[in-house]
Every structure is written in C-alpha cells, then in structure tokens.
Amino acid sequence: MTAPHDTTAGAGTAPVKQDFIRQIVRDDLASGKHAAIRTRFPPEPNGYLHIGHAKAICLDFGIAEEFGGRCNLRFDDTNPEKEHPEFVQAIQDDVRWLGFDWASLRHASDYFEVFYLAAEKLIRQGDAFVCDLSAEQVREYRGTLTEPGRESPYRNRSVEENLDLFRRMRAGEFEDGARTLRARIDMASGNMNMRDPALYRIKKVPHQNTGDAWPIYPMYDIAHALGDAVEGITHSLCTLEFEDHRPLYDWCVDKVDLAGHPELLEPLRARGLPIEAGKPRQIEFSRLNINYAVMSKRKLTQLVAEGLVDGWDDPRMYTLQGLRRRGYTPGALRLFVERLGISKQNSVIDFSVLEGALREDLDARAPRRMAVVAPLKLVITNLPQGHSESLRFPNHPKDPSFGEREVPFSREVWIERDDFAEVPPKGWKRLVPGGEVRLRGAGIVRCDEVVHDAAGDPVELRCTLDPESRPGMEGANRKVKGTIHWVDAARAVPAEIRLYDRLFSVPDPDDEADGRTSYRDHINPDSRVTVRGYIEPAAAAAAPEESFQFERLGYFVADRRDHGPAGPVFNRSVTLRDTWSVR
C-alpha cells in the first residue's frame, strides 16, 4: 500500500503520481516522441462495468487529464452474440458518474471496413491465409507449450486464392465456422498467440451496431491493435493477461501500418470520422482483485441470472451500478484507486480498503442525522403530555459550513433496543434500570421503570429527564457514562432500512479448486437484513442518492430506486467501524 495522501488538498496541489506508466508518459512527452498523448478505455458491451473497471477508467481517463491529452471511450464490440445496446448505454452512464468524459465515443465496429481492407492487405503481403481447418483441427495443429505446432495444409494457398476465398467469406457464401482468416506467422513460436492466430471468423449473427452488414467479424487481437492505431492512441493501457498478446498486437500494427497507408483509412473519410492514425504502444498493469468479491462479468451475470441478487444494481453487487446504489461515491472510488497505485504486481486487496475509502469520503461530506433501526419506546414522565420542542443540532461535528437543523423532541422518543440492558454485561455504558444515560443533545434521563410485554420483553422505559442537564443549562455538561441517539416518537418518520453487508462470507468465494464448491455456496445469508425503523424528519426529506451518517449506526444512502413519496428507504453503505477484520 502506498503512503496515505492528503486527500483534503485541492486538485492543484494533489501529490504527483509516480507509477511506471506515468513515468513512461512523462518520458515520451519530454523526449518529443509524442507532442500529446491519447489513451482509450475499451470495454466490451457484454455486461455492466465492475469495480475492476474503475481502476482502468481512472487510469485511462486520469492520465489523459493529468497530461493534457485525450481519452476515447471505445466499445470493443466484436462479439455480437453477447453484446447489447443496454450495456452500451449503462457503460457511458457509469463513466460519466465516475466524473470522466471522453474526447470521442467510438465503436470497434466503426472500423469494420478499415479492418477488412487491412486484412486484404495482409493477404496480399502473404501475411494471412484462409484456412479450412475446423476449430477442433486448429486446436490439434496448434501444439503445446513444449511442442511446436504443425502448419495448416492451407497455409500456402496463393494470394489470389486467399483473396477470392476471403471475399466470398465476406459475401456470406460459407457457413459459420467453415473457414477462418489466419495470420501467417510462426507455428513453432514459443508464444502460442503467434502460432498463426485467427484474425477473422465467420459468424452470421446480427450486430448491435452494424445489424446484418457483416457475416464475418474480426478477432479481438487484430481489432484491438488496429482500433488503437486508427485512433492514434499513443499509450494503450491494459491488464497483465494481455502481456502475451503484445507481440501479436505489435505484429498487427506493424504489418498493416495504417499510418503509412492512408488508402486503408478511406472508409473513415467517407463517414466523416477524423483520421488520426498512429503507432500505439501497449503497456500492461495488474488487475484489481478484491477479496470477498467476484469480479468477472461472467460471474456477475450468473449472480443476476440465478436470482442470487436482485439485479445488476443490487447494492451488494460489485458492479459500479450496484456500488452506486449502495451509496459508494465517485470520490470514494477514485480515492480507493489512487491508494492502490499502478504496478505489474498481482495482488488481492482487502475489502476493508474499499470500505475505508468510503468512510473517509463520507466522513467529510455526509451530514449527520439520527435514526433508530430497532426501536424501543422511552417515555419521559416529567415532561407534560403534549410537550413538544425543537432542538438545534449541527449537521456536521467537524465542519460548521454544513449548518444546523431542527430536531423535534417530545415526551416520547424511540431509542435502540440494543442501548438498554436489564442485565448489563461487564463494562456496559448505556441504559440500565435505575441508571442514567445522555440522550444526545437533549439531556440526561434516568430509567425509573421498565414495562414488559406478555413474553417478558421490555416494551417501554419510563424515565425522568434531569432539567438541569438540558442544553444551555448549568448541568448540561454533567458527566454520564453513555450517550445514545434517539428520534422523536411523535414526529419521526417510519422508514425501510436495508442493512447491507458483504455478499460473500469468505475471503475467496471464487475458490473452485476442489471442483465441488462454487461462489454460490458462499453467499452471506446476512448480506441483507431489512428492518422498519424511524428516522428524523430531516432525513426523510432527503433526495434519492443523498448520503448521511446515521449517528452511531453507519453511513446510509436514500435508495435511488425506491426512496420517495411512498416512504423513505435507506441502504446501509458501510458501518462506522470495520467489524470483519476482528472476526
């Protein structure tokens, strides 16, 4: 973990980030290799973004911002079966929510014509061939890490035959999987990715952007490399699993050489897209992994599909939509990513680091309110029936600029059942029969009598309020052991309060090594407990997505879907203290 930064400093005085990627960018600008930098964030629109993507977004957009460059948002839409416009929209919303904006919005599919011309160029150069081997045969021919592969019998087709076949692939003459276009590189390469990898496949599937226009689609490697080259990306940042693909990335960029072949970019000109081609450099960094979480789109999709959570934006999900609904703020996520730093070291980050960033962000920006989640009635017998007053409370204990609010107070209040014990454990500081406690901001009460229900559980505490301990009175600062929160029984608003906790109960839910358990078996049954409680009127009046600290309980956010005219609904974002590390 890097040293904590002074997060109160304004942007102008923010500490200069020193990771190896920023150092490369600095050097490239200093040497004049690039006059300006360009980056891109290239999500595949096959699901919602998750917390891991936040790291990539903050890096791609953040670096462009810090060095006066530009960052594109490019949808890597080369897998039509799994992609959907719903995801295209949601990804844009998420990037904006995190506080970033793109220089230009692109789709890999915007370049399908360019990629096609590039593929014909590779064929003419003798760098690509049409192969008739089936997927299974290709696997057999590929060899292993210790054995070289065998060359495809179709590898030495003439340029004319290859061009003819590729054009007929494009015309839709062949069935799915019947042929592929493959790079002609080296079947003995120590890098499996260089053993004549597929560049194009036949797939007669409509595309979310191009409809039925294409029966063939480019593979990830060529589309990504040429997409970067088309946009003049200078630094193409991606996660470490693509390190082995870098030689193929460079091969595609160099063999096609878009910057040196303007004719390949004609289709862009025809469509009015800017011509910016250059020679990009791929640089890899380590993925974000967090314990108590799963983070691949595939598994997040399964959680939703199998009903283990209530949708993509379930507040327990690791999607940005879920985190947002849980009450995570862009500031907390950016602070979290900043703390992680950027390196090539793979590691697993403790979930408490994420929660700590949220606490820190909300401590500074969330007003304080009072709420009671498990109510027990407390009656102040020495106040007259119908007594009613308004107390003034500061909205933030450390920041007067938050102002003050009125908190109603009357003869009956709700306190937490947990703040009263008939038989107190050792060291108990809160209310007991015959004992005293301070009602925060209102004065000191003594419990004279406990009323029980038929089952013997306390249902009402009859207390007297020490008039000398009221705010502004001489005895207002009299010492008592405990201070508890409360809400006025007459004017508090009933609220649905969802007490969320970690979705998984074990640090490595993803450990399927024994082949029998799966992350599905590790769902924390207490990850959501819904209660009916009471909140003070100033909390009930919140707008959706407004966050508060409910004193002594944690940080809560007004649910962005369900909170509203029908009644307040609050989600617990995080407790005030980490209770997991001590389990």
> Which residues carry out catalysis?
44, 287, 297
- Ranked by CB distance to ligand ATP, the top (closest) residue is 52
Decide if residue 357 touches ligand ATP (CB under 6 A): no
Is residue 62 close enough to count as binding ligand ATP by CB under 6 A? no
The stretch near ligand ATP (CB under 6 A) out of 15-23, 53-61, 79-87, 191-199 is: 53-61
Q: Determine if 19 is a binding residue for Mg ion (CB under 5 A).
A: no
Q: Which residue lies nearer to ligand ATP by CB, 282 or 547?
A: 282
Rounded Cα distance, 85 and 397, in Å: 46
Contacts with ligand ATP in 366-395 (CB under 6 A)? Answer: none
> How far is it, in rounded angstroms, from Cα 504 to Cα 292?
5
If binding is defined by CB under 6 A, does position 354 make contact with ligand ATP?
no
Nearest to Mg ion by Cβ — which residue? Answer: 44
Classify the phi-psi angles of 410: left when phi > 0, otherwise alpha if psi is within -120 to 50, otherwise beta.
Answer: beta
Residues 375 and 486: their CA atoms lie apart, in Å, by 9
Q: Which does 287 bind (CB under 5 to 8 A by kind): Mg ion, ligand ATP, none?
A: ligand ATP
Question: Measuring CA to CA, how many Å separate 51 from each of 39, 94, 122, 302, 312?
Answer: 20, 11, 38, 17, 13
CB of 188 to ligand ATP, least distance (A): 29
Nearer to Mg ion, 44 or 578 (CB): 44
Name the binder of 295 from ligand ATP, Mg ion, none, CB < 5-8 A by kind: ligand ATP
Residue whose CB is less far from ligand ATP, 189 or 301: 301
Residue 239 contact partner, candidates ligand ATP, Mg ion, none, CB within 5 to 8 A by sort of partner? ligand ATP
- Taking the complex as a whole, the smallest distance from the CB of residue 497 to ligand ATP amounts, in Å, to 32
List, as own/partner pairs, every contact residues 504-513 make where C-beta atoms lie below 8 angstroms and the sequence separation is at least 24, other chains included.
Answer: 504/292, 504/293, 504/294, 506/292, 507/291, 507/292, 508/291, 509/292, 509/293, 509/294, 510/294, 510/299
Cβ proximity to ligand ATP: between 286 and 464 the closer is: 286
Stretch of 44-52, 155-163, 275-283, 505-513 contacting Mg ion, by CB under 5 A: 44-52
Sign of CA dihedral 290, 291, 297, 298: positive
CA proximity to 104, closest of 71, 76, 147, 126: 71
68 Ramachandran zone, left/alpha/beta (phi>0; psi -120 to 50): left
* 287 is an interface residue for ligand ATP by CB under 6 A: yes
The residue range among 50-58, 96-104, 118-126, 305-313 that interacts with ligand ATP, by the rule CB under 6 A, is 50-58
Cα–Cα distance for residue pair 320/504, rounded to 1 Å: 17
106 counts as binding ligand ATP under rule CB under 6 A: no
44 is an interface residue for ligand ATP by CB under 6 A: yes
Contact (Cβ atoms closer than 8 angstroms) between residue 530 and residue 497: yes
Site of tokens 């952007």: 209
Among 125, 296, 530, 579, binds ligand ATP (CB under 6 A): 296
* Kind of pairing between the strands at 38-41 and 198-202: unpaired
Residue 44 binds Mg ion (CB under 5 A): yes
CB of 53 to ligand ATP, least distance (A): 5
Give the range of 37-45, 116-124, 127-135, 525-533 binding ligand ATP by CB under 6 A. Answer: 37-45
* Residues in contact with 541: Cβ distance below 8 Å, sequence separation at least 6, in sequence order: none
Residue 91 or residue 376: which is nearer to ligand ATP going by CB?
91
Please, which residue, 44 or 545, has the CB nearer to Mg ion?
44
Q: How far is the CB of 261 from ligand ATP (least distance, A)?
A: 27
Identify the burial level of 575 via C-beta atoms within 10 angstroms of its C-beta, where 0-12 means exposed, 13-18 middle and 19 or more buried. Answer: middle
d(CA 239, CA 342): 11
DSSP conformation letters of 312-345: TT-TTSSBHHHHHHHT--HHHHHHHHHHH---S-
- Which of 228/355 has CB closer to Mg ion? 228
Q: To the nearest whole angstrom, how small is the minimum distance from the Cβ of residue 219 to Mg ion?
A: 13
Residue 220 in the binding site for Mg ion (CB under 5 A): no
Q: Which member of 22, 25, 37, 53 binds ligand ATP (CB under 6 A)? A: 53
CB of 176 to Mg ion, least distance (A): 21
How far is Cα 253 from Cα 234, in angstroms, rounded to an integer? 12
Residues 161-220 interacting with ligand ATP (rule: CB under 6 A): none
Distance CA 573, CA 365 (A): 14
Long-range CB pairs of 139-148, under 8 A, 24+ apart, other chains included:
141/187, 142/192, 142/195, 143/187, 143/192, 143/195, 145/192, 148/187, 148/188
Nearer Cβ to ligand ATP (340/376): 340
Q: How many CB atoms lie within 10 A of CB 566?
A: 8
CB neighbourhood size of 246 (10 A):
19
**Contact yes or no for 399/407 (Cβ under 8 A):** no
The reply to whether 245 sits near ligand ATP by the rule CB under 6 A is: no
Does 43 participate in binding ligand ATP (rule CB under 6 A)?
yes
Name the one range near ligand ATP by CB under 6 A: 292-300, 389-397, 495-503, 553-561.
Answer: 292-300
Instruction: Please tell me whether residue 287 binds Mg ion under the rule CB under 5 A.
Output: no
Binding site for ligand ATP (CB under 6 A): 42-44, 52-53, 55-56, 76, 238-239, 287-288, 295-297
Binding site for Mg ion (CB under 5 A): 44
